Amino acid sequence: MAPSASSDVYQMSNGYAKKSNSPILASVLHGPRDLRLEIRSVSDPAPHELQIAIKRTGLCGSDVAYYKNFRNGDLQAVAPLSLGHESAGVVVAMGESVQGFHIGQRVALEVGVPCDDCRTCQRGRYNLCAKMRFRSSAKSQSGATSTHDNVHLQESEKWRLTTVPRIPSHVSLDSAALLEPLSVAIHAVRRSFIEQGDTVVVYGAGTVGLLVAAMAKLSGATTVLISDVDSGRVEYALHNGFATKGYINTKTSPLTELSDKLMAAKETAVDVVDIACADQPDAEGADVTFDCTGKEICIQAGLYVSYSPIMPSSFSSLIFIRLQTTRPGGQLVMVGMGTPIQTLPVSAAHLREIDIIGIFRYANTYATGIKILSSGVLPCLDNMVTHRFQGLDAVPKAFEVAGRTVDHEGSLVLKVVIET
Closest alpha carbon to 224 in 233, 213, 208: 213
SS3 208: helix
Residues 6+ apart with CB under 8 A from 347: none
Distance of CA 388 to the CA centre of its chain: 18
pLDDT in tens, 10-41: 554 555 554 446 788 999 999 999 999 999 88
Q: What is the pLDDT of residue 322?
A: 43
| Lowest mean per-residue pLDDT among 295-299, 318-322, 329-333 | 318-322
Closest alpha carbon to 78 in 159, 139, 131, 166: 139
Higher pLDDT, 225 or 341: 225
Q: What is the pLDDT of residue 151?
A: 54
* SS3 annotation, 337-364: CCCCCCCCCHHHHHHHCCEEEECCCCCC
Instruction: Read off the pLDDT of each residue in 185-213 and give the average, rounded to a whole number.
Output: 97
pTM above 0.85, yes or no: yes
Buried b (16+ CB within 10 A) or exposed e, 271-301: bbbeebbeeeeebbbbbbbbbbbbbbbbbbb
Q: What is the pLDDT of residue 139?
A: 60
Q: What is the pLDDT of residue 152?
A: 60
Give CA–CA dist 390/408, Å, rounded.
19
Band of pLDDT at residue 387, cut at 50, 70 and 90: very high
| Lowest mean per-residue pLDDT among 76-80, 126-130, 273-277, 305-309 | 305-309
pLDDT > 90 in the chain, percent: 63
Q: What is the pLDDT of residue 5?
A: 57
208 within 8 A of 60, measured Cβ to Cβ: yes
Residues 6+ apart with CB under 8 A from 6: none
Instruction: Read off the pLDDT of each residue in 373-384 and give the average, rounded to a whole number.
Output: 96
pLDDT in tens, 246-292: 999 988 778 889 999 989 998 999 899 999 999 888 878 899 999 99
